[in-house]
Structure 1
Amino acid sequence: MKEQFARNISIARKEKRLTQEELAHMLGLSFQAVSKWENAQTMPDISLLPEISRILDVSIDKLLGYAAQNKRITIYEDEYQTQDYYWGTEPNKACYKVLELMPPTKRLKLLDIGCGEGKDAVFFARNGYEVSAFDVSDAGLEKTRRLAEQAGVRVNAFKADILDYRLDSHYDILFSSGVLHYIKPEYRQEIFDNYKHYTNAGGIHVFNVFVQKPFIAPPPEKEPNAFAWHSGELLAYYRDWLIADSSEIVFDCNSSGIPHKHAMTKMIARNELPTIRRGRL
């Protein structure tokens, strides 16, 4: 819990553009106390948590790692409240690429990052992978569990915010579609370093991300928590991995009811680093 609290309070403090000294002054403490919290050396007295929560405008649950979020993150959270599956139940075409590259002929652990309503996570589970999946939407996670139950498979679906959540166990496959634009630029290096560190040797990452193009108009959806990516940016985090796919496409979309286009980078990268270099003997 110390590590989770340390990361969360550091992120929340920076979001408020406060220095450690400024936060400490507001709490009547020395800046060394805040520094120790953020370095996971100590935790604050329980009596300080309500005031820390008020100053940083974040719930105590989120600070302690028990809740993913206390504010609406995506524009799709309301859409997931309906009985229908907003994105349908057919898997993303990239799922078939995973089957081709790493068929589940042995036990393989897969994590679906930002699983939405669960169509891809359930597809992977139906095909024999050991699947975990997270999303920020309670309604989306409930649909994921329902879809898994209907298919007669198990998906470990849990609530987490992509900005806060860090891996602490190893996977063979990380998969994410249409989600990475919710990662703020200043957190990308740390997050992808974490994803890579907890990927087994020979494992793959199958990701896509929307990219800005001067010849494509901005999408009609107004997403306050979405952040721009540029061509080649995702690949830069994988310069030490084998790149199996780095294609870029432009496609038509009607998700908002208004026809528009998106540009997207698709990436498949394989961890070819020897196990010993990753600190696992």
Structure 2
Amino acid sequence: MKDKLARNISIYRKEKGLTQEALAQKLGLTYQAVSKWENAQTMPDLSLLPALSQVLEVSIDKLLGYAYQDKKITIYEEEYKTPEYYWGLEPSRMCYRVLELLPPTKHLRLLDIGCGEGKDAVFFARNGYDVTALDISDAGLDKTKRLADKIGVPIKVLKADILDFRLDSNYDILFSSGVLHYIKPEYREEIFGNYKQFTNTNGIHVFNVFVNKPFIAPPPEKEPNAYKWHSGELLGYYHDWLIPDSSEVVFDCNSSGIPHKHAMTKMIAQKVSEIK
């Protein structure tokens, strides 16, 4: 709790363009008090949380690391409430690359970031990985659990906003498909730094991102919380890792019922031991 609160105060203070001193002045405190909060040396008094929440313009729940319950983060929440699986049940092709590169011949922890309705997470669990599935959608997580129960595999599910979530334990595999455009550009360096830090040596990250191209029209889905990526941007965060695979593709999509195209970067990166 203390570490989450410390990190969130720092994140939302910077998002508001406030220095530690400026935040302290608004709260009638010394900047040393704010510094101690952000370094997790102390926690704000409970009586200060309403004022802190008001100044930073985030809910107390969000400050404490709980996902928003009243804000629509994903446009797919209603789609996931239907009996049908919006994205189908066929696993992403990237799943098979994980099996090729890091097969579960030993205990391997895998985190599916933005699992949606769980088709990829369940595929990994069926193949012997120790899977944690993360998403902001209650309906998506419910479907993930139902699908895992139907197949008879264990999966840990976790509700979290990708902007707030940070790793605090190590994984061997981080997997994310069609989700990372929800990360604001100003958060990316810090978030991917966290992902890399809490990845075991020889572990892999298997990610894709939608990239902006001037010759491709914007998608028909109006996503208020989506942020553009550019060609090569994702790869730049992994300049110090081995890159077994990196490609960019343009493909047809009909997910909304309206034919359209996407450009996407696909990347596999592996954390290898440094030479001493």
TM-score of the two chains, using structure 1 as the length reference = 0.93
Q: CA deviation at 1:18?
A: 3.1
Give, in whole Å, the separation in 2 of the partners of 1:129 and 1:103.
Answer: 9
CA contact under 8 A between 1:248 and 1:263: conserved in structure 2? yes
CA contact under 8 A between 1:241 and 1:273: conserved in structure 2? no
- Residue 13 of structure 2: aligned partner: 13
- Residue 244 of structure 1: aligned partner: 244
Q: Does 1:23 align with 2:17?
A: no
Q: Which residue identity is paired with 1:237?
A: Y
- Residue 62 of structure 1: aligned partner: 62
Between stretches 171-180 and 65-74, larger displacement belongs to 65-74
Map 1:42-81 onto structure 2 (within 5 A): 42-67=42-67, 70-81=70-81
Between stretches 122-131 and 50-59, larger displacement belongs to 50-59
- Residue 125 of structure 2: aligned partner: 125
Q: Which residue identity is paired with 2:162?
A: I
- Residue 176 of structure 2: aligned partner: 176
Give, in whole Å, the separation in 2 of the partners of 1:123 and 1:62.
Answer: 31
The Cα offsets for residues 240-276 of structure 1, whole Å up to 9 and x where unpaired, read as 11111111110011122211100000001111124x9
Map 1:35-184 onto structure 2 (within 5 A): 35-67=35-67, 70-184=70-184
Gaps of 5+ in 1: none
Identity, % of aligned positions:
76
The Cα offsets for residues 24-60 of structure 1, whole Å up to 9 and x where unpaired, read as 2222222222222122121111111122223323222
Ranges of 4+ aligned residues in structure 1 off by more than 4 Å: none
CA contact under 8 A between 2:243 and 2:270: conserved in structure 1? yes
CA contact under 8 A between 2:66 and 2:160: conserved in structure 1? no
Q: CA deviation at 1:69?
A: 5.8
Give, in whole Å, the separation in 2 of the partners of 1:58 and 1:200.
Answer: 33
Give, in whole Å, the separation in 2 of the partners of 1:35 and 1:69.
Answer: 29
Q: Which residue identity is paired with 1:108?
A: L
TM-score of the two chains, using structure 2 as the length reference = 0.95
Q: Which residue identity is paired with 1:6?
A: A
Q: Which residue identity is paired with 1:15?
A: E
The Cα offsets for residues 165-207 of structure 1, whole Å up to 9 and x where unpaired, read as 1111111111000011111111111111111111111111110
Task: Note the aligned Cα RMSD (angstroms).
Answer: 1.6
Count of aligned residue pairs for this structure pair? 276
The Cα offsets for residues 45-91 of structure 1, whole Å up to 9 and x where unpaired, read as 11111222233232222211233565211211222222221111111
Give, in whole Å, the separation in 2 of the partners of 1:260 and 1:15.
Answer: 34
Report the CA distance shift for 1:154/1:178 in structure 2 as closer, same or farther (over 3 A).
same
Q: Which residue identity is paired with 1:40?
A: A
